[in-house]
Chain A
Amino acid sequence: MTDKTMDVFVKKTGGWAASQLEACTRCGLCAEACPYYLATGNPDYTPIWKVELLSRAYQQRFTLVGKVKTALGFNKPITDEEIKDWSMIDFNACSMCGKCAAVCPMGIEIPKLIGTVRAGVNAAGYAPEGLKSKAKAQDEFGSPNGDTVDAYKEWFASAKEKVGIDVPVDVKGAEILVVFTNLEISTKKSNLYDLAKILEAAGISWTTSLEARDAFNMGKIIGDGKLKKKLLMRIYNAAVELGVKKVLVTECGHGFVALRDDLPEVVGKALPFEVIHIAGLLPDLIAEGKIKVQAGKFANGKTYTFHDSCKIQRTGGYFEEPRDALKILVGESNLKDMASNREEGLCCGGGGGLRAIPEAKDNRMAAFKLKLHELEEVKADVVVSTCDNCQLQIKDGLNFYEVEDVEVKGLIEMVADALIV
C-alpha cells in the first residue's frame, strides 16, 4: 500500500510542491491559524505536520541530503500505520480552509499540499469510509447522495408549479449555465426557485444541464485525480456543447474553485467560458441595476453578520461583493463583521468533506465552537452565507450547542425575497 502512496507523492511533486516544502522554517505559526488545532490543542493538527509524510517522501526521493538521511536511518520509510494516522489528521481535522496559508510567514500553500497527502492516503485505501462511499456514489450516479438524473429532472420541473417558471434545461446558446449541488436538491430545493426568479427578472438567458447537474466534486475532496477529472469534464463538456459564456455555481465552494482554478490545468488550456459564483453575480446584478431590490427589506432591528466561506471568499476572492449587496438589503448599520473576517475568516468547521465523515464530528463541533464564539461576540441574530455547506454546518453547530436565537440565511433567498419585479 505504501508503494501506491509513494507513487502519488512522487508523481505530484513538481517544482511547485518542492519549492513550498523547502520553504518551511518549522516556525509553527500555521498552527495558530488552524481551527482544529485551536479548538483541540492537539499539536498533530498543526497544518504543516499534516504534510509531514509528503515532506519525508520528498526528501527520500528528491534530495541528496534526504537520501543521505535515509541511508543513515534518520528518515524512515513510510509505513502503513503512518498512512492511517495521517488519514486521521488530514481528513478528519482539516477543512482545506486555507487560513494557514495566510498566516504562514513564508506564504506556503499548505492546503494544496494537504490535498496531495490526501491523494496519497486515498491511493493506499485509507481514506475515511464516509468519503469513500460518497465518492463511489458520485462516480456511479453523478451525485454523492445518489440523486439520479430523474431526481434532478423532477426538481427542475417543479419550478413551474412553485414559481411559474419553466426552468430551461440543456438550452444551446444560453449565456449562463447554472450548476447546482446535491445539497440543494436534498436540503434546499428553494434555491432553484429563488434563483430562477432572480435570473428571469434580470432578463438573463440561462440554462441548466442534466449532464452538468452537480458542481460537487468528491474527487477533489478525497484526492482521487481520476474522479476529479471525470466530474470536472462532465461540466466542461456540457458547457462547451451548450456554448455558454459563463458557468454559474450556485453555492458549492470547493466545486466552484475546482472549476475555476483546477479545470484549466486538467484540460491544459484556458477555458472557453468564465466560471462565476452567485456571491459575485447577485451583487453585480443589483449594482448594475439589472434587478431591483427593496433596500432595507431586512432592516428589522436584527444584527446581521456575513460568514466568509473558505472557498468562496478566502479562495474565491468575493469579499466585498456580497457585503455590498447585504448592506443594501439589511441596512449598512445592521451588518457587523466578525472578529476574523475576509481573508482571515474563520472556517465554519464543516468544509473539506468533514460533514461526510461521522468520526470527525467531534472535531467539527469543536471547530464550530470558535465560530460560535465570534458570532456571539458581535451579537449576531442572523448569519448570512453564500455556501450551502457552511449554512448546514452552522445550523448543525447551533443545534449541537443549543443556540436557538441565531438564524442562518443564504444570500440567494434574501435577494429573491427582496426582489421587486
Chain B
Amino acid sequence: MTDETIYRHMQDEGVSRRDFLKMCGLVVGAMGMTKMPPLDASGLPASLNKVDKSTLNHVAEAMETKPRIPVIWLEFQDCTGCSEALTRANAPTLSNLVLNTLTIEHHEALSAAAGFQVEEAKQQAMKKYAGQYVLVVEGSIPTGEFAAYCSVGGRSAEEILKEAAAGAAAVIAVGSCASYGGLPAADPNPTQAVGVMDLIKDKPVVNIPGCPAIPEATVGVITHFAIFGTLPELDELHRPKTFYGTTVHDRCLRRPFYEAGKFALSFDDEGAKQGWCLYKLGCKGPTTHNSCATIRWDSGLSFPIQSNHPCLGCSEPNFWDGGGFYQGQSTPLEKPTLGTVGAAGAAGLAIGAGMAAAAKAKKEK
C-alpha cells in the first residue's frame, strides 16, 4: 500500500480543497450511493464512524484518511473499447481520478513503457502490493486447446489471469467480454472463450458488463473499492446493483409510448420521427439490465434509444446469440424450418392415417 492518502496525493498535484470536495461530489454521484457502507469495514478509526454525516462528507473523509490503492489492468480478447470509453468518460476529472490518482500501476494500452519493461513493472507491482491491489480485466479468456490464441509475452491469457488474480484483493471484469465471454464467445465460440468469473472462483469478482461498459459504472466500482475497501452490493450475476438494478426499459424515455402501444415500425416512419417505442424494431430494453437510460453516454448526452436505435441488450450474457438485433424480443430464437415442419407433419399424418386405417380394418372385420 502506498503511504499517502488520496487527498494528500491530490494536494500534491495542486488540487484545491474546493475542487477536492467537488470531486467527492462527483464520486458520490458516480457510485450512485445513497447509503454508505460502515466505515469500520474500510479499516478506518472507529471515531470517524460515530456521527451521522452526509454522504458527501463521508466520501471526503474517507478520501482524506484512506491510503491509495493500486490498480492492475489486464487486457485479453478485447477491443479496448471499455478503456476507450473510460478515457472519454463524462467527467475528465473522474477518469483522471481513476487513471492517475488511484494509481493504475499497470495498464497495457495506456502504459508508456512497452515490451519486457512493462511486464517487469507489472511483476514488481504485483509483488509489492500482493493481497492489496485491484485487478481489472478487460476481454475474454480463451481456454483449453485454444488457450494459446491470446498470449502475452509467450504466456497464455489464462495463465496470466490466474497469476494476477492470486494476489488481488478483488477482481473487476469490465465489459461483456470479461464478464461473460462477449463477442469472442459468440456462437460457435471458436476459442472456447469464457469470462473471468468462470475461471476465478476464489476471489470476489465484480462484473460490469456492457459493450462497452458504461465508464461511470467502471469508475464507480473502482472508486468504491478504492475508497471504502469493499465492493458494492452485487446481484446474482455479480453486477453492482446500483448500476444494474433496473432495466433499460424500466427507465426508458420512450416507455410511455410502449405503454400506449405506439411503436415505430421502421427507422424512417412517422412513429420513428415521433420518438415512439422501438420494441417492434427489436428493442431488448425490457430484459437488459444497465444504466444507459439514466447515466447515458458522452456526458449524459444521449443513448441508443434516444438516438432512435433499439437497445441491443449488450450488457446481457450471450447477447450476440440472443436473436437478431432488429427482431422483436418475443420472437423465437429457433424455429422449425419448412423441411422439419413438413417431415414432422408428414409423420403425424402418417401415424394418424395408419392408426385410422388399422381401426377401420378391424371395424370391418
Complex Cα gap A13–B356 (Å): 11
Q: By the criterion CB–CB under 8 Å, are B362 and A10 in contact? A: yes
Q: Give per-residue flags for A138-180: 1 if the beta carbon is below 8 A from chain B beta carbons, else 0.
A: 0000000000000000000000000000000000000000000
Q: By the criterion CB–CB under 8 Å, are A61 and B351 in contact? A: no
Complex Cα gap A14–B351 (Å): 17
Min Cβ gap A225→B in Å is 14
- Is A64 an interface position by the 8 A CB rule? yes
Instruction: Tell me the residues in window 335-365 of chain B with beta carbons closer than 8 Å to chain A beta carbons.
Output: 351, 355-356, 359-360, 362-363
Residues of B within 8 A of A11 (CB): 363
Complex Cα gap A62–B351 (Å): 12
Q: Which of B351, B362, B363 contacts A64 (CB 8 A)?
A: B351
Complex Cα gap A64–B359 (Å): 12
In the complex, residue of chain A having the shortest beta-carbon distance to the beta carbon of B359: A62
Task: Bin the interface of chain A by size.
Answer: under 10
Q: Give per-residue flags for A188-211: 1 if the beta carbon is below 8 A from chain B beta carbons, else 0.
A: 000000000000000000000000
Q: Give per-residue flags for B67-81: 1 if the beta carbon is below 8 A from chain A beta carbons, else 0.
A: 000000000000000
Instruction: Tell me the residues in window 42-70 of chain A with beta carbons closer than 8 Å to chain B beta carbons.
Output: 61-64
Complex Cα gap A15–B360 (Å): 10
Complex Cα gap A148–B321 (Å): 86
Complex Cα gap A15–B362 (Å): 14
Complex Cα gap A10–B356 (Å): 12
Complex Cα gap A161–B75 (Å): 121
Residues of A within 8 A of B356 (CB): 15, 62
Complex Cα gap A61–B362 (Å): 10
In the complex, residue of chain A having the shortest beta-carbon distance to the beta carbon of B364: A11
Complex Cα gap A61–B351 (Å): 15
Min Cβ gap A345→B in Å is 36
Q: By the criterion CB–CB under 8 Å, are A10 and B363 in contact? A: yes
Task: Bin the interface of chain B by size.
Answer: under 10
In the complex, residue of chain B having the shortest beta-carbon distance to the beta carbon of A10: B363
Q: Give per-residue flags for A7-24: 1 if the beta carbon is below 8 A from chain B beta carbons, else 0.
A: 000110111000000000
Complex Cα gap A61–B359 (Å): 8
Complex Cα gap A317–B226 (Å): 91
In the complex, residue of chain B having the shortest beta-carbon distance to the beta carbon of A7: B363
Min Cβ gap B355→A in Å is 7
Min Cβ gap B332→A in Å is 26
Residues of B within 8 A of A10 (CB): 359, 362-363
Residues of B within 8 A of A61 (CB): 359, 362
Min Cβ gap B119→A in Å is 67
Min Cβ gap A195→B in Å is 43
Complex Cα gap A166–B363 (Å): 51
Complex Cα gap A64–B363 (Å): 17
Q: Give per-residue flags for B46-61: 1 if the beta carbon is below 8 A from chain A beta carbons, else 0.
A: 0000000000000000
Min Cβ gap B348→A in Å is 11
Complex Cα gap A64–B360 (Å): 15
In the complex, residue of chain B having the shortest beta-carbon distance to the beta carbon of A18: B356
Min Cβ gap A215→B in Å is 31
Residues of A within 8 A of B363 (CB): 10-11, 13-14
Residues of B within 8 A of A62 (CB): 355-356, 359
Complex Cα gap A63–B355 (Å): 8
Which residue, of B351, B360, B363, has the highest number of chain A Cβ atoms within 10 A? B363
Min Cβ gap A16→B in Å is 13
Residues of B within 8 A of A15 (CB): 356
In the complex, residue of chain B having the shortest beta-carbon distance to the beta carbon of A61: B359
In the complex, residue of chain B having the shortest beta-carbon distance to the beta carbon of A67: B355
Complex Cα gap A62–B355 (Å): 7
Min Cβ gap B70→A in Å is 67
Complex Cα gap A11–B359 (Å): 9
Min Cβ gap B362→A in Å is 7
Complex Cα gap A400–B311 (Å): 79
Complex Cα gap A14–B364 (Å): 11
Complex Cα gap A15–B352 (Å): 12
Complex Cα gap A85–B42 (Å): 82
Complex Cα gap A63–B362 (Å): 14
Instruction: Tell me the residues in window 64-82 of chain A with beta carbons closer than 8 Å to chain B beta carbons.
Output: 64
In the complex, residue of chain B having the shortest beta-carbon distance to the beta carbon of A64: B355
Which residue, of A11, A62, A63, A64, has the highest number of chain B Cβ atoms within 10 A? A62
Complex Cα gap A179–B359 (Å): 40
Residues of B within 8 A of A63 (CB): 355
Complex Cα gap A207–B139 (Å): 102
Q: Give per-residue flags for B174-208: 1 if the beta carbon is below 8 A from chain A beta carbons, else 0.
A: 00000000000000000000000000000000000
In the complex, residue of chain A having the shortest beta-carbon distance to the beta carbon of B352: A64
Complex Cα gap A13–B362 (Å): 11
Complex Cα gap A14–B361 (Å): 11
Residues of B within 8 A of A13 (CB): 359, 363
Min Cβ gap A241→B in Å is 32
Min Cβ gap A22→B in Å is 12
Residues of A within 8 A of B360 (CB): 14
Complex Cα gap A119–B359 (Å): 20
In the complex, residue of chain A having the shortest beta-carbon distance to the beta carbon of B360: A14
Complex Cα gap A15–B351 (Å): 16
Complex Cα gap A11–B362 (Å): 8
Complex Cα gap A11–B351 (Å): 21
Min Cβ gap A10→B in Å is 6
Min Cβ gap A3→B in Å is 13
**17 A-B contacts, Cβ less than 8 Å apart?**
A10-B359, A10-B362, A10-B363, A11-B363, A13-B359, A13-B363, A14-B360, A14-B363, A15-B356, A61-B359, A61-B362, A62-B355, A62-B356, A62-B359, A63-B355, A64-B351, A64-B355
**Considering the complex of A and B, which 3 residue pairs feature the smallest CB-CB distances, nearest first?**
A62-B359, A11-B363, A10-B363
Partner-B contacts on A (CB < 8 A): 10-11, 13-15, 61-64
A10-B359, A15-B356, A62-B356 known; 12 new pairs, CB 8 Å cut-off, are A10-B363, A13-B359, A13-B363, A14-B360, A14-B363, A61-B359, A61-B362, A62-B355, A62-B359, A63-B355, A64-B351, A64-B355
